[in-house]
Every structure is written in C-alpha cells, then in structure tokens.
Amino acid sequence: MSDFSEFALQNWLLFLAFFAILGLLVGSELLRRMRGVSAIDAVGALRLMNDRDAAVVDIREAAQYKEGHIPQARHIPSGALRERVDELAKLKDKPVIVYCHTGSASQAASAVLKKNGFAEVYSLSGGLASWLDAHLPVSRKKS
C-alpha cells in the first residue's frame, strides 16, 4: 500500500470533510450559473459603477447598512426584496450590483432580480467584506 493510501485511510474524516466542502463549492457555483447571475469582484464592481453607471443594491439589514455601505447604494433588505422590486424597475436596463456582508445571500437576491426582468445583474463576490479588503470607500450617509 502506498504512503498516500495509508494516510488517507488513517485520516478518512479529513478526506470526508474535504470532499464535502468541495461538493458545496461546486454546487454553489453551479447554482449561481443556473440562476444566470454573474459574480464580480470589488475592483470590477467599481469599474462597472464608474464606466457604465451601475446601480448598487445593499440587501443587508438596516443596522448593518447604517454602519457603512457602498456609496450611492440603495438599501432594500433581502427579506423585503420581492415586495419592493418595483422600486428598482427603472434600473432594468442598467447593470445592477447586489451585495450583502459576505456574498452568500446576494446570489439569491440577484436571482430574484433576474427573474423580474433585470437584464444585467451581478453579485459582489465576498460582499462588503471584499469591498473593504480592497480599501474602497464606504459611506454612512443615508442614500
């Protein structure tokens, strides 16, 4: 028996965890693609905002939004998005960037917008955390 096989047998729980995480990552990516949502990083989002006047939607809760948000972001909490999607109707032909805190909830919210006829929807990879990691500005003003 090779060293690798012996290691794998002795550490089967680690390998099980590795394949579970790998499956979740692949599944998440497949689900995102099936929903028709594109992911975008912080620098790409900034470029899209500057070059194509992309709209930004913050789906976090009110308290998180008040702590700091991307400048000019519209605040619609994820729980209210389905009921308030009409507020964004004039943006259907513009690029729209949706973000949450970490990027996981924004994928589902982006899919809601796509289902409601928005042509170009992006989910900010890593959410506001990635925006902050890129040292990009945040605002505490109400937009």
- 101-122, pLDDT tens digit by residue? 998 899 899 999 999 999 899 9
- The residue ranges of every structural domain in the chain are 1-35, 36-143
Closest by Cα among 52, 64, 53 to 129: 64
Could you give the 3-state DSSP secondary structure of residue 52? helix
Structure tokens at 121: 């929807």
Residue 78 annotated in active site = no
Q: Which of 40, 91, 97, 100 is catalytic?
A: 100
- 44-72, pLDDT tens digit by residue? 999 999 999 999 999 999 999 999 999 99
pLDDT at 34: 63
**Using an 8 Å Cβ cutoff, are 78 and 96 in contact?**
no
Does the pLDDT of residue 36 top 80, yes or no? no
- Which residue reads 């975008």 in tokens? 40
Which superfamily, per CATH, for 36-143? Rhodanese-like domain (3.40.250.10)
pTM over 0.75: yes
